[in-house]
Amino acid sequence: MKIDIHSHYIPHEFINLVNEGCPELKAKIIEKSGSLFIQHEQGYAYPLNKGFYDLEYRLAEMEKAKIDMAALSSAPPLFYYDADVETSCEVVSLVNDGIAEAVRTYPNKFAGVGNVSLQYVDKAIEQLEYIVRHLGFKAVQIGSNIEGKQLDAPELLPFFAKAEELGVLIITHPYYVGAKNALEKYYLTNLIGNPLDTALAIAHLIFGGVLDKFPALKFCFAHGGGFLPYQIGRLEHGYKVRTEPKIHGIKPPSSYFNQLYFDSILFDERALRYLIEIVEPGQIMMGTDYPFDMEETNPVEFINKATGDKDYKNMILGGNAAEIFGLE
C-alpha cells in the first residue's frame, strides 16, 4: 500500500463560512487572474484548488499518482493560532469533524490528522483526547511555532506529555514564517522560510530537552525535515565544542533521530538518498503536499528513483506509515 502522509484538506463548511463573510475567520475568497484564492488577513493567500475540498476529484488525482491512501490534514492557515479561544475552538472542531467525515465516507482511502488550539494548551489537550478516543485519529498536526513561541516552551510540555501517553504521531508543519524581513521577496517565505522554520523547530526540541523528557514521543517533520538533517554535522560539532547546546544535559543531537520521522518532499533525488543514509529508511514516509502548487506530483516515481533497495522503497512508500496509522 502506498500512503501519502502529507496532504491537505479544507472542509466545505469552512469555505461556506468564508463565503458568507464570517468576520471571526478574517479570510475572504478573491479572484486573481481568473482563479479563486483564499486570502487570510494574517498574510496567507493560496489557490482554492478543487483538490482541497472535493473528495471524488482528490481520489481521481490519487489514482493518477498511484497513491492508495492519504492522511488528511488541514491547510496550515487553518491552525488559527492568532485567534481568540472561541474562534480557535470552533475552527478546530469544524476541521476535525470535516476530516472525520471524509474518513468515514472513504475509510480505505483516507486517514485523519487532527488540529488543536495549541495556543490554549488546556483546550489542545482536550481536543487531542477527542480526536484520538472519539474520532480514532492516530496523528495530530501542529505548527513549527505557535505565533513565534518555539516548541521547547515550558507551557507546551503538558500537551507533549498527553501526546506521548496517547501514542499519537505529531506532524509538524511550517507556520507563518512571513514575518522574517529577508523573506519578503521571490516567494522566499516558502522556498527558504518553510525549511528554515522546520529546522528551528527540530533544534528547539532537541536542544531544549523535550525529546529527553518524552522518549516515546514521535514527531514527523514536513519537507524532509527542512534544513536540519543536511546540517546535522554542524549541530554535532557545535555540541562538542560549545557549552550552550548542552545546557539541558542532552545527548549528541543525532542520537534523537530515532524519535523523528520525515516526509519525502525534497524534489531532488540526491537529497532523499542522503536523508535515507543519515536517518535510516524506517524514519521516512512518502508525502506530496497536495494540492498546493509546491506539491510533489510524482511521489512514487521520485522515491523509486532515489533508492534501488526494494525494502527501503516499501518502507518509505507505505510500510512505515501503515505501522504508525495501524493499517494492514
pLDDT interval class at 269 (50, 70, 90): very high
Percent of the chain surpassing pLDDT 70: 99
Q: Does domain 3-23+56-324 have CATH number 3.40.50.620?
A: no
Global confidence as pTM: 0.96
- The pLDDT of residue 179 is 58
State pLDDT tens for residues 189-210.
999 999 999 999 999 999 999 9
Cα 267–Cα 270–Cα 275 angle in degrees, nearest 5:
90
Would you state the torsion angle of the CA atoms of residues 309, 311, 315, 317, taken in this order, to the nearest 10 degrees?
A: 60
Please report how the helices 12-19 and 85-105 are oriented relative to each other, as an axis angle in degrees rounded to 10: 140
Domain ranges in the chain are 3-23+56-324
What region, left, alpha or beta, does residue 268 occupy, with left being phi > 0 and alpha being psi -120 to 50 degrees? Answer: beta
Question: Is residue 299's pLDDT more than 70?
Answer: yes
The residue that leads in pLDDT, 328 or 236, is 236
**268 burial type by CB count under 10 A (0-12 exposed, 13-18 middle, 19+ buried):** exposed
Contacts 24+ apart (CB under 8 A), 54-59: 55/102, 55/105, 55/106, 55/110, 58/290, 58/291, 59/106, 59/109
Per-residue pLDDT at 277 = 94
What are 13-46's pLDDT values in tens digits?
999 999 999 999 999 999 888 888 898 987 788 8
In tens, the pLDDT along 252-266 reads 999 999 999 999 999
Each residue's pLDDT tens digit, 212-254:
999 999 999 999 999 999 999 999 999 999 999 999 999 999 9
Which residue type occupies 277? Answer: E
Greatest extent of the chain over all pairs of C-alpha atoms, in Å:
57
Show the DSSP H helices in the chain as ranges: 12-19, 55-64, 85-105, 121-133, 157-166, 188-191, 193-207, 210-213, 232-241, 269-279, 299-306, 310-314, 320-324
Residues 280-298 as b/e (b if ≥16 CB within 10 A, e otherwise) read ebbbbbbbbbbbbeebbee
Per-residue pLDDT, averaged over 69-98, amounts to 97
Question: In 10 A of CB 279, how many CB atoms?
Answer: 20
First to last CA, the chain: 9
Whether 105 has a pLDDT exceeding 80, the answer reads yes
Q: What's the Cα-to-Cα distance from 88 to each of 43, 97, 277, rounded to whole Å? A: 17, 14, 40
Residue 209 and residue 250 in contact, taking contact as beta carbons nearer than 8 Å: yes
Q: Which amino acid is at 218?
A: K
Tens of pLDDT, residue by residue over 307-317, are 999 999 999 99
In eight-state DSSP terms, residue 316 is: I
The stretch 283-290 carries a mean pLDDT of 98
Give the residue-averaged pLDDT of 68-91.
Answer: 96
